[in-house]
Structure 1
Amino acid sequence: MLWASLVWSAALLLTAPAARAQTPVDLALVLAVDSSASVDESEFALQRDGLAQAFRDPEVIKAIESGPYKRIAVAVVEWAGHAEQIVDIPWTVVDGAAGSLTLADRIDGLQRQILTGATSIAGALTFAHSLLLSHPFEADRLVIDLSGDGRNNQGPPVETVRQGIVLQGVTINGLAIVNEHPTLNYYFEDRVIGGTAAFVEVANDYADYPRAIRRKLIREIRTMNISAPRRPDSGAPRPSDATELATLAAEPRRW
């Protein structure tokens, strides 16, 4: 296992681009949406609509505008089996309200492209990381935001993939949809997430996804100023960040 992790890490180092374009963004974020066989059409629609709704939310927009550059970069992908991933929306700059609303409209228009398949979280993370390796920005943080309703059942061990990706300074966050697997959030915590300030958000079912993804986006965008991997650790969060995180923690959650 250790040898496999080292080989994986070496491969990632060799494929990292030598330079980035000079457009600075506060965050480069890959949103990976579950499109496996366990997700029916109505459940996929709830994910799509929840994402669009989140980018129209005033608090999400406020979070984007609170960063030093007041813009983030977002890519949206679908994932299922180990070789079944596709980019729905390529890298897009979200620069405040106008950019966020434009992205929401694009998400609204998405049609599902992967109709069935296994659940390869390992494959999804590998694909998302390949997008981060080629993003055309200068980003303070690199984050994979993976939503799913099941455990990895195809491809290499998730832990091995996670370790290689996290070593590259990437944070992996998870949104566990626990309608079929009530303890999926613990699996995500143990085997999927990793990196600076990584966390798991829980959606009790697909109807709860819009609430969960809104909360998750606010948290991971707001956290960017206190957990950037390229900067020295500045200690405790600033009061504004601590207040925001405390507010989010106080929101009701149904486990």
Structure 2
Amino acid sequence: MRKTLLSMASASFLFAAMPQSSACVDIALVLAVDGSGSVNEVEYAFQKFAIASAFRDRDVLAALTSAGVVAISAVFWGDGEFAVQKLDWFIINGGEGGEPFAREIEGNQRMVFGNTDIGSGIWSALDLLSDPRLCATKSVVNVSGDGEETIAPKRRKVASLYQARLRAETMGVTVNALVIADDKGDLASYYSNRVIVGASAFVMDIRNYADYSTAIKMKLIRELSPRIVATLSSGKSRPTE
């Protein structure tokens, strides 16, 4: 209970820190990070390190500065049978305030495993974006994954990938993807056709976790500065089953 109260107090403080001259942040961005069973402990730790490093990177900080006021959070997802790990919102204003978020990412203790329930991860990110305290000119979910959605019987009701994408479309949220394809063939096409949502949505495709650090920086810069051209493939905006 004490941890929950502290978390609520922290979130309230962060929202109180938003500039009073504007009712909305410029961008609300949720990182939806793959923590399913196909991601081993080394790869999970590497993702955390790469994300934290990105928010200390000069080029990413420059993009954050140009973006204005950015609300940033993250979810770590895996098997939809279990709770998704969620971070509080952090406000980065004019490039200032990224370090607390980086430290929070680094300190995250893994509690997700199991099936690759991408829909559950996106749904949880959308729950954050529907926070009544949050008003954003642009809302984005930045999802990373190394496999397709697991199709298997569930013990409880879990949002499917299709349902999550429909909700994102209804909310006007863009869902972009970073695919770690490894030896899984044309995984980028799967994410392009069945994961991303939005007219400007895109997929970035890498072959292994060694490239993740560079890719997450490029992806963040692309999302924060739409006119920046990155190596990517544009995807479809309409959800398909």
Range of TM-score over shorter length: 0.7 to 0.9
> Per-residue deviation at 1:134?
1.1
Partner of residue 229, structure 1: none
Aligned length: 206
Structure 2: distance between partners of 1:94 and 1:205: 30
Structure 1 residue aligned with 2:103, among 98, 105, 111?
Answer: 105
Q: What SS class does the counterpart of residue 89 from structure 2 fall into?
A: strand
Q: Secondary structure at the match of 1:161?
A: helix
- Give me the whole-angstrom Cα distance separating, in 1, the residues matched to 2:192 and 2:128: 23
Paired with 1:131 and 1:83, the residues of 2 have a C-alpha distance of 19
C-alpha change, 1:135 and 1:180, in structure 2 (3 Å) is: farther
Q: Could you say what secondary structure the match of 1:33 adopts?
A: strand
Map 1:110-121; keep pairs closer than 5 Å: 110-114=108-112, 116-121=113-118
Shift of 1:94: 1.4
SS of the residue aligned with 2:29? strand
For residues 25 and 85 of structure 2, what CA distance do their matches in structure 1 show? 20
Task: Find the partner of 1:148 among 142, 145, 158.
Answer: 145
Change (3 A) 1:64 1:135: farther
Aligned counterpart in structure 2 of residue 171 of structure 1, from 151, 169, 174: 174
Q: Tell me whether 1:183 sits opposite 2:177 in the alignment.
A: no
Deviation of 1:122 (Å): 1.2
Listed as ranges, the gaps of 5+ residues in structure 2 are 1-19, 152-157, 233-241
Question: How high is the sequence identity, in percent, across the aligned residues?
Answer: 36
Q: Which of 85-94 and 156-165 deviates more?
A: 156-165
Matches within 5 A, 1:1-255: 23-67=23-67, 70-114=68-112, 116-134=113-131, 136-154=133-151, 157-223=160-226, 241=227, 244-245=228-229, 248-249=230-231
Provide the rounded CA distance (Å) in 2 between the counterparts of 1:94 and 1:202: 27
Q: Deviations over 1:104-155 (max 9, x none)?
A: 22222222122x2111111111111111111522211111111111100145
> Quick check: 2:26–2:138 contact (8 Å CA) kept in 1?
yes
The structure richer in helix per residue is 1
Q: One-letter code of the match for 1:99?
A: G
Which one-letter code corresponds to 1:71 in the other structure? Answer: V
Q: Could you tell which deviates more after superposition, 152-161 or 101-110?
A: 152-161
> When the two structures are superposed, what TM-score results if normalisation uses the length of structure 1?
0.75
**Cα distance between partner residues in 2 of 1:222 and 1:145:** 14
Structure-2 separation of matches of 1:87 and 1:100: 20
Give the C-alpha shift of residue 163 in structure 1.
Answer: 2.1
Q: SS of the residue aligned with 1:60?
A: helix
Q: Please give the TM-score of this superposition, normalised by the length of structure 2.
A: 0.79
- RMSD (CA atoms): 2.0
Q: What SS does the corresponding residue of 1:26 show, helix, strand or coil?
A: strand
Residue 88 of structure 1 and its aligned partner are, at CA, apart by 4.1
Compute the displacement of 1:162 (Å): 0.8
Q: Do the aligned partners of 2:78 and 2:84 also contact (CA within 8 Å) in 1? A: no
CA distance in 1, matches of 2:47, 2:24: 29
- Distance in 1, matches of 2:139 and 2:83, equals 19
Residue 174 of structure 2 contacts residue 201 of structure 2 at CA under 8 Å; is this kept in 1? Answer: yes
